[in-house]
Amino acid sequence: MLQFITGGVCAPKGFAANGVHCGIRKNKIKKDLALITSEVRCAAACVYTQNLVKGAPILVTREHVKDGYARAVIVNSGNANTCNANGVEIAEKMCSLVEEYTGIPAGDVVVASTGVIGQELKLDPIAGGMEELVKGLSSDEAHSSAAAEAIMTTDTVKKEAAVSFELGGKQVKLGVICKGVGMICPNMATMLMFLTTDAAITPQMLQKAISEDVKDSLNMLSVDRDTSTNDTLCILASGLAGNPEIAAEGEDFDAFSRALHTLTTEMCKKLAADGEGATRLIECRVRGAKTKEDARLAAKSVVNSNLVKAMIFGADANGGRVMCALGYAGADLDPMKIDVDFRSEAGTLPAYKQGSALPFSEDFAKRVLSEKEIVIDVALNEGSFEATAWGCDLTYDYVKINGDYRT
**What residues act catalytically?**
190
| Rounded-to-integer distance, Cα 93 and Cα 392, Å | 38
